[in-house]
Amino acid sequence: MDYSERTIEMARLIAENCTSCKRCMKDCLFLQQYCEDPQKLFQQFLEEGLEPIIPYSCMLCGRCTVVCPLQLKLDEAFLAMRQDLIKDGLPLKQLKSVEMHQKLSTSKLFTAVNRGDTK
């Protein structure tokens, strides 16, 4: 997999600056499942890459950046990895169910919208 220079630079910034304080891991089940600390995870990415399911497992909520003393943007780095994987045409079988979920969750049948109408 050839990641873009932008993605590599984002990962390098995290790998070189993360202090392994683990504040981002406290409430993040994703990070708890996939790493001992984010610095090591991003070092691994730079040295040997990651399984594609890893960047797709991040919810991109941004909580990691909010609690990080250095405001490192892990979520943006994982999004950049996803974008590069898509450019390489890498569909993930594990994510096939997400497509159906997105279709159903936005359909009129399963969506309730209260617009405040008094009809």
pLDDT tens digit sequence for 78-108: 999 999 988 877 766 666 666 666 677 677 7
- Average the pLDDT over 65-86 and give the result: 94
pLDDT digits (tens, 9 = 90+) for 44-66: 999 999 998 899 889 999 999 99
Structure tokens at 79: 């999004």
The pTM of the full predicted model, rounded to 2 decimals, is 0.77
Q: Pseudo-torsion of CA 110, 111, 114, 117, nearest 10°?
A: -80
